[in-house]
Structure 1
Amino acid sequence: MHRHTWVGLLLAVISLVVACRGPVIYPTPTAVRGTLSGHSSPSQAPQEPTVVNTPSVAVSGAETFVYGFNVAWRGDEDGAAFNQRTADMVRLAGFRWIRFQVRWEALEPRPGEWDFRPLDRVLPIYEAAGLSVLASVVAAPAWARDPEGGIVKDPATFREAMYRLASRYRGRIHAWEIWNEQNLAHELHGPVRVEPYCALLRAGYEGVKAGDPDALVVFGGLTPTGVNDPNIAMDDVAYLEAFYAFEGGACTRYFDVLGAHANATLNPPDTLWPENPGPGPGWRDHPSFYFRRVEQLRAVMERHGDTRPIWITEFGWTTANPAPGYEYGQYLSEEQQAEYLVRAFEIARTRWPWVTGMFVWNLNFSTIVDPEDEKGPWSVLNADWSPRPAYRALQAMPKEP
C-alpha cells in the first residue's frame, strides 16, 4: 500500500520499477497516490446504466467473510523457514487467507518456458497451515508486452498463462486477482485507458475458468487517487465508471469479485472528505485520502445494477516512514495503527454488507526489506518478527465467519 503526495508523484512514477533482491519475490510496487489541484468529481452514471450479471460468490467452507493479510514470500530453495514462519503468524492472528503477488515475467520469462518451482515450494506450506490463497498476477514478460502502450500485445498469451496457472494449482490457489492498480500509466506501459485492461480481464477470466471453474476471479484493485493525467494516473472512481460504461458494459461480466484498495494516509477510518474530514495536517482535502473511498466505488457499481461483492485487497496505515512521499506516517503512532485497522474491519462488518473480504497491507514486509523501504512501516510485525500493537489488536479482534 503506497501513498505519495503530488510533490513526489512524478519522480515516483518514473522510478517505480523496483528490482527484487536475490530469490525473494515481492509484490509489484503499488504506485503513487497523489492529488492534483482542481479535483474532478466522480463521473455521473450514464442515462441507461448497464445491468450486469451478478452471480452469487461463495468463499471456502462456511466462511462468509475473508480475513486476510498481504504477505511477502520466498520462492527460492532456502525460503521454507521464512514461509513457514509467515504461515504460522497468519494463523496465530486468527486469519485464514493470504494475498501475494505472482510475477508472470518470473514464471514465464520466455514463451512457453515455465518455472513453477517458486509456487511449488511455497504452496504446500500454506496448504498444510490451512490457509486459502488470493494470487495477484502482475508484470507481463518483455516478450508479451505491448510496445504501443497496452498491457499485452496479444491477450491470448495471457489467457494461456492463466489457464496454465489455474489448472496446475486447481483447488490450491482459490482466487486470482487480475493485475494491480491498472489506473496507473506504469502498469500499462503507456497512457491510462480502459480498453487494454478490458481485454486483459476477459482473457484472464476465460483462462482461469477453463483451468479451475471453482476459482474466483477478482477485478484488480485500483490505486486511490485524484490524479487525472493519463500519462500518470486516472482517478479510481472515474476509471471504474469508465470501465462500466465501456462498450455498453461488455467487460463487466468477467469477474466474480471487485477488488478495491483503500488507503487513509493519516485519517481515521470513520472520516471522509468533505462531510467529515480528517484531523490533518494535510492529506485531507480529497476522498482518495480516506478509507471510506470504497463507498464511492460501491456507488458506481450500484448505479450499474451490480450487486457482486467487494474485497478490499489492500488497506492499511503506515507509522513513521523514511521513504519520500510518506511523511504523513510521522503523525501516526503504533497504537493508532492498531486502533484504525480494527475499526476498519468493524466498519466493513457492520456498515458494508457488500464487503465480504479484507486483506491488511501488510503482515511481514518489515522482515525482508531494507530499513528505508516504504513497505516496512506498514507491517504489523517488526523486523525481528515480534508483534507490533497492530498485530496484537488484530489477533484479539472478534472474527465472525
Structure 2
Amino acid sequence: MSPYGTCSHLGGGQEHDAMPRNMTLMREAGIEWARADFSWSGIERPQGTWNFEHLDRVVKNAEEQGIHILPILDYSTSWASPSYKNPELWLEYVRRTVTHFKDKIRYWEVWNEQNLRNFWGDTPDPEEYAKFLRKTYLTIKEIDPELLVVYGGLAGVPAEFYEKSLQAGAGEFFDVMNIHPYRGGLVSQQAVKHFKEDIQKFHDLTVRYCGKTKPLWITEMGWATPPVLGQNSRYFISGVIEKLFPNGIPGKIAAVWDMHYPPSMGLNDAMWKKMLPENADFELFPIEKTAALDPKTFPVLVLPPGEDFPVTYADEIRNYVKNGGTLILHGGVPFYYQMVRGEDGYWVRPEKNPYAGSLSRSFRVRVLTWWTDKGTPEHTPLELAPNVSESLAKYPAEKLQGGRFFSDSE
C-alpha cells in the first residue's frame, strides 16, 4: 500500500465538485490515501437531521479509485460549542457517523490541530483533549473493536502538548500518533535541519508513556505552490501602476533581490523583468537597503511575491510609505507571516507564533478568515479580472473560491 496521501476538503465546496477528477489524478500518481473532514456541522443540520449524502459520494468515488479515506471527526455546531463541553451530543454524532461508514472505513481521526485555539474552539488544553479522546475512542471501539483510532493531527511538532496529554492518560486511547510538521517551505531552512530530531521526540515520548512504539503518521505537511510569477505578476503590477501613475512613474521602481530573504532568492534581474511592466526602469536592492530608499528617486517599491516579511524592517518600509512612497505587494495576503533571522543568517518563518497580525494591522491591513472571525464565509466565488482570467483559463472561473478577505475595520 502506498504511504502517500493528500489532505483535501472533499466533503464540500469546490474540492467536492472537482473530487471525481482529482481522485482519478491521485490514483494515476500512485496516491492511495485522502484525508478529509467528516465535520459534525456538515452531517447534522439542522439539529436532529442527519445527512451523509455528500460523504457517501466521497466514499463511493474513493472506492472506485482504490483510495483509502482517513476521515476526521471534528469541529462544533452552533448548538454544541465547543464540542468537548457537550460530550453527549458529540458522541451521538460519533456513533452515527462511524456506524454509517464502519464497513468501508477502518481508521478514524479524532479532531484536527487541537493545540490551536482556532480549531479547538477554546484555550488548547492537553488534559481536556485526553478526556475527549478517551470518550471518543471508547465509543468507536464499542461500534467495532477492529476499527483504529488516530490521535488528532497536531499543528507543528508540539512535544510539550503531546507529553501533557500522555500524562493525562491519552496513551491508552489511540492506535496511531499523528502530527503536522510543516517546515514553512522556502522560508524555514532552519526548521528543516531539526526535522529528524523533532520526529524522534515524538517516538521517544510514545515509548516512554505507552510502553511501546506506535505508528506515527504525518497527515499534513508541505508548503504552498510558489506564487504565480511572470505574466500574472506583470498583469497585476502593471494594472496597479497604470491606476496610480496614469502619466508614468516619475522615477525608478525599486525591487528586492536578497540571498538571505528566501522569497526573493530567485528574483534576479531577468526574473524581475518578466514580472514588472515592459521596459520598466528598475533597480534591485537587498532588503536592508530599502531603509535608505528616497521616494522621490524610487516612488515605487515592489516586494517579492508571498506572505512572509522580515519584521525587523517593518518600520523602514512603513516610513517609506509615510514619506510618499508607493508599496506594491502581491502573491498572497501582505505581512501574513513574520520572519526572523535564523542562526545561519537567513530569514525564516518561526514555527511558534508565525503569524504577524499586529504587523499587518500596523500597515492598516486587516484580514478576515472563517477560522478567526465568526460569520466570515468559508468559500466565496471569485470574479477575476480579464487579463488574469486569460492566464488562468484552464481553471473554470466558477470553481475558484476565496477564503480570506480584506477589511477596513479596526
Normalised TM-score (structure 1): 0.54
Q: Following superposition of structure 1 onto structure 2, how do residues 43-54 of structure 1 map, counting pairs within 5 Å?
A: none
Q: Which runs of 5+ in 1 are unaligned?
A: 1-62, 226-235, 268-281, 329-367, 373-381, 386-401
2:181 to 228, 243, 262: 262
1:384 positional shift: 4.2
What do residues 255-303 of structure 1 show as CA deviations (whole Å, max 9, x unaligned)?
1101111111136xxxxxxxxxxxxxx6456689847532222222133
Structure 1 residue identity aligned to 2:151: F
- 1:239 matched residue in structure 2: 161
Q: Following superposition of structure 1 onto structure 2, how do residues 2-401 of structure 1 map, counting pairs within 5 Å?
A: 63=1, 66-75=3-12, 82-146=18-82, 151-224=83-156, 236-246=158-168, 250-266=169-185, 283=188, 290=195, 293-304=198-209, 305-318=211-224, 319-320=226-227, 321=306, 322-323=332-333, 324-325=335-336, 384=394
Q: Which runs of 5+ in 2 are unaligned?
A: 228-305, 307-331, 340-378, 384-391, 396-410
Structure 1 residue identity aligned to 2:218: I
In 2, Cα distance between the equivalents of 1:96 and 1:286?
28
1:312 positional shift: 0.6
1:244 positional shift: 1.2
Residues 179 and 112 (structure 1), Cα distance of their counterparts in 2 relative to 1, 3 Å cut? same
SS for the counterpart of 1:191 is coil
SS for the counterpart of 1:218 is strand
Residues 384 and 102 (structure 1), Cα distance of their counterparts in 2 relative to 1, 3 Å cut? farther
What is the alpha-carbon root mean square deviation over aligned residues? 3.3
Structure 2 residue identity aligned to 1:295: Q
What do residues 315-346 of structure 1 show as CA deviations (whole Å, max 9, x unaligned)?
11333342343588xxxxxxxxxxxxxxxxxx
What do residues 32-56 of structure 1 show as CA deviations (whole Å, max 9, x unaligned)?
xxxxxxxxxxxxxxxxxxxxxxxxx
In 2, Cα distance between the equivalents of 1:170 and 1:207?
13
Residues 92 and 122 (structure 1), Cα distance of their counterparts in 2 relative to 1, 3 Å cut? same
Residues 297 and 153 (structure 1), Cα distance of their counterparts in 2 relative to 1, 3 Å cut? same
| Structure with greater proportional strand content | 2
Residues 383 and 68 (structure 1), Cα distance of their counterparts in 2 relative to 1, 3 Å cut? farther
What do residues 187-230 of structure 1 show as CA deviations (whole Å, max 9, x unaligned)?
233222123212221122122222333322100111116xxxxx
Identical positions, percent: 28
Bigger mean CA deviation after superposition, 166-175 or 285-294: 285-294
Structure 2 residue identity aligned to 1:261: H
Residues 285 and 83 (structure 1), Cα distance of their counterparts in 2 relative to 1, 3 Å cut? closer
What number of residue pairs does the alignment pair up?
243
Residues 286 and 72 (structure 1), Cα distance of their counterparts in 2 relative to 1, 3 Å cut? closer
Check whether the contact 1:208–1:215 (CA below 8 A) recurs between aligned residues.
yes
SS for the counterpart of 1:114 is coil
1:110 positional shift: 4.1
The structure whose Rg is larger is: 2
In 2, Cα distance between the equivalents of 1:192 and 1:309?
24
In 1, Cα distance between the equivalents of 2:193 and 2:151?
19
1:174 positional shift: 2.5
